[in-house]
Structure 1
């Protein structure tokens, strides 16, 4: 099982390039960043994690700008999004952003995606929440066309364009990792994904999760596909939990680096100590 780090990279926390170097130096295999373009102050949509939305949600760096910079100071680690809110982007522009990061990194980019939960955020981008998942999947299909064809065109319900020229192309077509844990997520992984990113599976739900991983691999085999990697976002940082994840069929865990910065202290020393602890656990 591989080990990586995921974090809300903020303007008041550890600096992006310091973080990227530290993750690679400590032997982790990957570094993933979250995405929110903004947070509406109305706060009508309930946060799935509880009652009070953490400050970090409104302070995140643009992940593609940050990952492009991180690619320039690293050589080995995979760099990705967990997850990008694809339906809040123009797919032609986003296809170029992803391809650019993949080129700069030498083919190390992984494209974790999700439909999002904040309805007001979507609405500000002109996205109907009732069609957010269908829009996301169609936009990904359009982006793959742009990445792989010299004169791509696409005609769908949400995305429509005649033949275009768009370079750079990615070094490799970035693996698309589908985020989520709902009842139909495996359908999306099989139809549009190259991997699955479930979110924070508690030990109490591990038996059911193990069955879902087995179902995913069986359905992939039945469809003539090989093994589909499973990356667990927000793994519990305990040896017994890591052993259980491996037994469940998880291929990679992402330890969540918590928000340790403040207006007075970027929390760099605390973040580096936490990375040291996680790296020791991964060994």
Structure 2
């Protein structure tokens, strides 16, 4: 099992390129950046974890952060944890994904999700009630763009005829599409158009659902888990379940806030590995 970190790359904290360089040097194999274009000030949708942390509305643009991380590193997987495709134009996003993957030499993991903030979706013209089918169509449309010289897609929510778009991704057929979320239908989405599942440690029935996914799949699917605590026992459970990568969220801010948390994560990994 590999290990990584998640990070909200805020403008007032350690920059995305610098934190990526540090965690690569310290032996991590992946870094995953969160995405929110904005947070509506009305705060109608309750945050699942209580009071909404300020980092949610102080992050850099996802693909700008990913580019900075890719340029600053040589081996590290750089990823979206997760990209809110339901709030994005699929043609533009396909271009951004392919560009980062090409520039990084094929090191991008493309985590996607349906989101939780309903008014944020509405500000992008997305009906929250339709976010699940919209996600599926936009991902499939991007997969067509990544693999076809003249891509065409016709769906209920995405439609275009014969477009040219380069570069194509360095990874074939495309960067791994990791489906985030822990809702009742998420495994169906993974099986329909994903290359893996990207749940959180605290998602309900995590381990039975990993087993269910493996049992239902007719192809290899990755499982990566975010929000993992710095606990050797938790890491042992994930390794026994066949998880590909476990990642812990780092705090946003200056290095003085990050260093101790990263050290705890490294210590848990070392203990789990018997070092």
The answer to which of 169-178 and 208-217 deviates more is 208-217
Structure 1: stretches of 5+ with no match in the other structure: 262-266
Aligned partner of 1:279 in structure 2 is 266
SS in 2 for 1:35: coil
How big is the shift at 1:145?
A: 0.4
The answer to which of 271-280 and 182-191 deviates more is 271-280
How big is the shift at 1:272?
A: 3.0
Aligned partner of 2:34 in structure 1 is 34
Asked whether the 8 Å contact 1:81–1:111 carries over to 2, the reply is: yes
Q: Distance in 2 between matches of 1:193 and 1:244?
A: 24
Asked if residue 83 in structure 1 is aligned to residue 82 in structure 2, the reply is yes
How big is the shift at 1:9?
A: 1.0
Aligned partner of 1:178 in structure 2 is 179
How big is the shift at 1:91?
A: 0.4
TM-score normalised over the length of structure 2: 0.94
Cα shift readout 1:206-249 (whole Å, capped 9, x = no counterpart): xx3222111100101xxx313x2111110011111111222233
How big is the shift at 1:273?
A: 3.6
Aligned partner of 1:235 in structure 2 is 228
Q: Distance in 2 between matches of 1:269 and 1:56?
A: 16
Asked if residue 70 in structure 1 is aligned to residue 69 in structure 2, the reply is yes
Aligned partner of 2:273 in structure 1 is none
How big is the shift at 1:274?
A: 2.6
Aligned partner of 2:144 in structure 1 is 145
How big is the shift at 1:79?
A: 0.5
Aligned partner of 1:101 in structure 2 is 100
Asked whether the 8 Å contact 2:201–2:225 carries over to 1, the reply is: yes
Instruction: Choose which of 216, 221, 225 in structure 1 pairs with 2:219.
Output: 225
Asked if residue 210 in structure 1 is aligned to residue 207 in structure 2, the reply is yes
How big is the shift at 1:46?
A: 0.8
Cα shift readout 1:57-104 (whole Å, capped 9, x = no counterpart): 000111111111211110001000010000111100000000000011
Q: Distance in 1 between matches of 2:256 and 2:267?
A: 17
Aligned partner of 1:268 in structure 2 is 255
Aligned partner of 2:113 in structure 1 is 114
Cα shift readout 1:123-174 (whole Å, capped 9, x = no counterpart): 0100000001110110000000000000101111111111011111110111
SS in 1 for 2:219: coil
How big is the shift at 1:47?
A: 0.6
Cα shift readout 1:241-277 (whole Å, capped 9, x = no counterpart): 1112222332211111023x2xxxxx22331343233
Q: Distance in 1 between matches of 2:158 and 2:125?
A: 14
Aligned partner of 1:127 in structure 2 is 126
Aligned partner of 2:242 in structure 1 is 249
Structure 2: stretches of 5+ with no match in the other structure: 271-275
Count the aligned residue pairs.
268
Aligned partner of 1:49 in structure 2 is 49
